[in-house]
Amino acid sequence: MAARTRPKLPVMLSDTTDPYQPAEAKHQITRRCLEALVKEGFPILIVTKSDLVLRDLDLLSKARAVVSLTVTSLDEAFARLMEPGAPPPYRRLKALRRLAEAGIPTVARIDPIIPGLNDKPDDLEHLVRKLRDAGVKHVTASTLKPVRGFFQRLERLNPKLAGSLRETYREMKVIAGYGYLPLHVRKRIVSMVRGYVLREGMTFASCRENLQHLNTSICDGTAYLSRQESLLLSGE
């Protein structure tokens, strides 16, 4: 099987489920996958909310790899509410810094941005500066896109918040099962973050917002895999 592989396109871990859930610390399934991918020379994109990714720094350092860490806010109360079970933001920032110091290109995902919760300009500007200080090269920003049943589940956890968000998304348009804010609202939020990111010298993109004209690089950060390959071929 290995002889028939063609390690050209990057392998993403993972676009559906976080590859570094708490159980990974014990079972090491992601690590074993990485060992196989690195051995066969596949470029790798890690997408996670966990600083457990640092455990596999030895493997990632041997590969063409980009690590994308989600940091939606520096407010730990917000993080506990919207990302239960994930490490607090300060640990994710430390992980980004260590990865960058090890020479691994890092991406930060400010996703989701939720109107009325983590969309305050001063907070987002401060977050972007912290990401820059941590060595992040690329930032992706996207707004919350509720799926069917989202508001019902939130109602059980936080009725007041659920009511507020229902009103915010009252005029949402459902596309492929996801609820989209009106375009002018999404554009305002994404453009604001873009301005902060470009000012700090990082590349920027939004994902699934129909605002491609605002992007300065590929949404997921895999452009840095191509740059790594170019450096390897040039011998730099």
Residues 35-46 have pLDDT tens digits of: 999 999 999 999
- Portion of the chain with pLDDT greater than 70, in percent: 92
pLDDT value at residue 5:
59
Q: 1 pLDDT band (50/70/90 cuts)?
A: very low
Our separate counts of H helices and E strands in the chain read: 10, 8
pLDDT value at residue 15:
82
- Cross-strand bridge partners of residue 65: 44
- The average pLDDT across 60-86 equals 93
- The average pLDDT across 6-24 equals 87
| Of residues 75, 82, 78, 87, the one with CA closest to residue 154 | 82
**For the purposes of burial, counting CB atoms within 10 Å of the CB of 156, is it exposed (0-12), middle (13-18) or buried (19 or more)?**
exposed
How far apart, in Å, are the Cα atoms of 178 and each of 52, 150, 173, 214, 218?
Answer: 30, 10, 8, 21, 22
User: Which residue ranges form the domains of the chain, and what is each CATH number?
Assistant: 2-144+183-234 (3.20.20.70), 146-180 (no CATH)
How far apart, in Å, are the Cα atoms of 11 and each of 39, 75, 88, 131?
Answer: 13, 32, 27, 25
Q: Is the pLDDT of residue 227 over 60?
A: yes
Distance separating alpha carbons of residues 128 and 60, to the nearest angstrom = 25
Q: What is the pLDDT of residues 80-104, one digit of tens each?
A: 888 888 999 999 999 999 999 999 9
pLDDT value at residue 233:
42
